Amino acid sequence: MRERLVIALAAIAALLLAYNLYHIFLVLPDEAAQGAIYRIIFFHVPAAITAFTGFFVTLVLSIMYLISGNLRYDSLAASVTEVGVVFACVNLVTGMIWARIIWGIWWTWDARLTSMLVCVLIYSGYLMLRRAIDEPTQRARLSAALSIFGFADVILVWKSIQWFRTQHPSPVLSIRTGGGNIDPAMEHMLYLNFLAILMIAAALVLVRTRQETMAREIDSLRRLANAA
Amino acid sequence: MLLSAMDTRNFTFMFYGFLAAWLIVLIYIVSLARRGARLKKELEQVRNLVSSKHP
């Protein structure tokens, strides 16, 4: 059942991506000042929103684990975080490549870029913490606490371009600005590509969760073998 | 919709951006597949170990 769902998600995402890429390269108009490079936005922004969606889901799952003590929430939170970190890295790297052309520099320590880097470091720390602790309950409790505190940085990343004067462009999505900062056709494509990337992320989370279940089974069987 | 001829300014860096994005995802998928295979093997070994201790 899970394998079928993964295949279905991946297939729909691939079809949607093919449709999106055709429109991104051949249908959408060029951006007047930036040339072809502006098209990076169609992966840069959706990758960030996918990562933030993942970190929000991790926050909810961590709270649910702390309330219920059910390790399934912890496993799911770990899977979602790992996939979230991958897409946060995609966001950072594509942003740097865009910046090299538009700003003339790969990196600047402004509030948006720095808080996003800190975000990647916090959630990478979450994954490293999990490797460092063997006892499942202690690992789950500390991971949940870290992800709850870590989410504060996600809010900082999201709001940084409104709270601080940054080199990073101001918000463009109409849900934040009320409209007028981006061509509606380009914004529509941003949401469509977010959907495709979110489906890829969901498929990866399903695969990763299966692995977490296997790891838990190995752990409990080892304990059983050692107890004998 | 009108098909547009793409402005090719900065095309190389746009290509690098797309390549980097998919490369990161691809590397993760490969690492996920390798980890899955290792876990499957490990689970089989531990199951055999337990069944030999608890026949």
Query: What residues 127-166 of chain A have any CB closer than 8 A to a CB of chain B?
Result: none
**Calpha distance B17→A228 (Å, rounded):** 54
Predicted pLDDT at A56: 98
**Calpha distance B8→A37 (Å, rounded):** 9
Task: Please indicate whether, in this complex, the C-beta atoms of A27 and B1 are within 8 angstroms of each other.
Answer: yes
Of A25, A222, A225, nearest to B6 by CB-CB distance is A25
Q: Is A218 on the interface with B (CB under 8 A)?
A: yes
* Cα Rg of chain B (Å, integer): 23
Task: Please indicate whether, in this complex, the C-beta atoms of B49 and A210 are within 8 angstroms of each other.
Answer: no
Predicted pLDDT at B6: 64
Residues of chain A with pLDDT under 50: none
Domain locations along chain A: 2-28+38-214
Which of the residues A25, A37, A80 would you substitute to probe the B interface, choosing the one with the greatest number of B C-beta atoms within 10 Å? A37
Instruction: Assess whether pLDDT exceeds 80 at residue B28.
Output: yes
Instruction: Assess whether pLDDT exceeds 70 at residue B1.
Output: no
Residue tagged 């107890």 (tokens): A227
Tell me the chain A residues in contact with residue B35 when contact means C-beta distances shorter than 8 Å.
211
Instruction: Assess whether pLDDT exceeds 50 at residue B2.
Output: no
Predicted pLDDT at A93: 97
**Calpha distance A86→A124 (Å, rounded):** 10
Predicted pLDDT at B3: 46
Predicted pLDDT at A73: 95
Burial code (b: 16+ CB inside 10 Å, e: under 16) for A62-99 equals bebbeeeeeeebbbbbbbbbbbbbbbbbbbbbbbbbbb
CB pairs under 8 A between A and B: 105
**Calpha distance A208→B35 (Å, rounded):** 9
Predicted pLDDT at A152: 96
Of B10, B35, B49, nearest to A34 by CB-CB distance is B10
What is the DSSP secondary-structure string of A101-145? HHTSSS----HHHHHHHHHHHHHHHHHHHHHH--SHHHHHHHHHH
Say whether A98 sits in a helix, a strand or coil.
helix
Task: Please indicate whether, in this complex, the C-beta atoms of B6 and A207 are within 8 angstroms of each other.
Answer: no
Phi-psi region of A107 (alpha: psi -120 to 50; beta: other; left: phi over 0): beta
Shortest Cα distance from A36 to chain B (angstroms)?
5
Of A216 and B30, more confident: B30
**Calpha distance A116→A107 (Å, rounded):** 12
Task: Please indicate whether, in this complex, the C-beta atoms of A221 and B6 are within 8 angstroms of each other.
Answer: no
Residues β-bridged to residue A35: A31
Shortest Cα distance from A201 to chain B (angstroms)?
10
CA angle A71, A73, A77 (to 5 degrees): 115
Task: Please indicate whether, in this complex, the C-beta atoms of A211 and B8 are within 8 angstroms of each other.
Answer: no
Predicted pLDDT at B4: 54
Q: Is B26 on the interface with A (CB under 8 A)?
A: no
Sorted by sequence, the CB contacts under 8 Å of residue A126 that are 6+ apart come out as A81, A143, A146, A147, A150
Q: Is A47 on the interface with B (CB under 8 A)?
A: yes
Sorted by sequence, the CB contacts under 8 Å of residue A114 that are 6+ apart come out as none
Task: Please indicate whether, in this complex, the C-beta atoms of B13 and A208 are within 8 angstroms of each other.
Answer: no
**Calpha distance B30→B13 (Å, rounded):** 25
Q: What is the share, in percent, of chain B residues with pLDDT greater than 90?
A: 62
Tell me the chain A residues in contact with residue B18 when contact means C-beta distances shorter than 8 Å.
39-40, 43
- A195 φ/ψ angles, rounded to the nearest 5 degrees: -60, -45
Q: How much is the ipTM here?
A: 0.90
Q: What is the model's pTM?
A: 0.92
